[in-house]
Amino acid sequence: MKRLRQIVTKAVIAKGKKRTESSEVLRPPNTPTSILGCWVINHHYSAKKVGKYVEVSGKYDVNVWYAYNNHSKTAVYSETIPYKDRIKLHYRDEEIIDSNEVHVKVLQQPNCIEAIINQKGDCFNIVIEREFLVELIGETKIVVSVHPIEFEEEWNFDDAEDEDESSSSSSSSSSSDFDYKESNRSDSSSFQ
């Protein structure tokens, strides 16, 4: 036991992953005759830990391009859809110090996988998929084995090399000073 030490460090202490398919009903101002396209944009989200879950709250805009008036006109209908996903955390270790630091990675941005006009013909039934991976960062304890050092590694410092380099650089600078003084002296003598 004398050779073991406990270290407290930050690590990923729990993970969770969830894929969601949600159905939305959108009511455009005109009675649609066909859907020409559907896309999801402007996805924003935030996450917080709630008990043994991470709650991801967010919103996105769904845009449906559709034809109406018996296929004679087109329009785009937009609606902002809020959502809240609860993602269960799976812990690897039991000995943890609780934490609220959450990292979220979007594995699948919200995406339209189905868009149809309902049987009444006045609404869109849209199916949106999304997927998140969450990680909980916290302090945990690890145990390391400590081995005594019986000798200290020798370090080889070559001081002689450093002295040779410094003396050669100082001699070169003094010789250049000398050359400069000599050239100035000869220039001044020519003006006399």
Taking the C-alpha atoms of residue 40 and residue 62, their distance in angstroms, rounded to an integer, is 5
Q: What range defines the domain where residue 67 resides?
A: 4-145
Q: Is pLDDT at 50 greater than 60 in this prediction?
A: yes
Structurally, the chain folds into a number of domains equal to 1
Taking the C-alpha atoms of residue 71 and residue 83, their distance in angstroms, rounded to an integer, is 33
Taking the C-alpha atoms of residue 54 and residue 104, their distance in angstroms, rounded to an integer, is 9
pLDDT of residue 89: 94
pLDDT of residue 168: 54
Taking the C-alpha atoms of residue 138 and residue 176, their distance in angstroms, rounded to an integer, is 63
pLDDT tens figures, 14-33? 999 999 999 999 999 999 99
| Within-domain flag for 170 | no
| Within-domain flag for 168 | no
| Within-domain flag for 163 | no
pLDDT level of residue 141 (50, 70, 90 thresholds): confident
Q: Is pLDDT at 104 greater than 90 in this prediction?
A: yes
Of 172 and 91, which is predicted with more confidence? 91
Instruction: Say what the pTM is.
Output: 0.69
| Within-domain flag for 112 | yes
Residues 177-184: what's their mean pLDDT? 46
Name, of 91-95, 106-110, 180-184, the range with top average pLDDT: 106-110
| Within-domain flag for 67 | yes
Characterise 179 by phi-psi region: left (phi > 0), alpha (psi -120 to 50), beta (else). Answer: alpha
Taking the C-alpha atoms of residue 12 and residue 104, their distance in angstroms, rounded to an integer, is 12
pLDDT of residue 2: 72
| Within-domain flag for 62 | yes
| Within-domain flag for 72 | yes
pLDDT of residue 179: 47
Of 53 and 164, which is predicted with more confidence? 53
Q: Is pLDDT at 180 greater than 50 in this prediction?
A: no
Q: Is pLDDT at 137 greater than 50 in this prediction?
A: yes
| Within-domain flag for 90 | yes
Q: Is pLDDT at 114 greater than 70 in this prediction?
A: yes
- Per the document, the length of the chain is 192
pLDDT of residue 162: 60
Residue 43, Cβ density class (10 Å: 0-12 exposed, 13-18 middle, ≥19 buried): middle
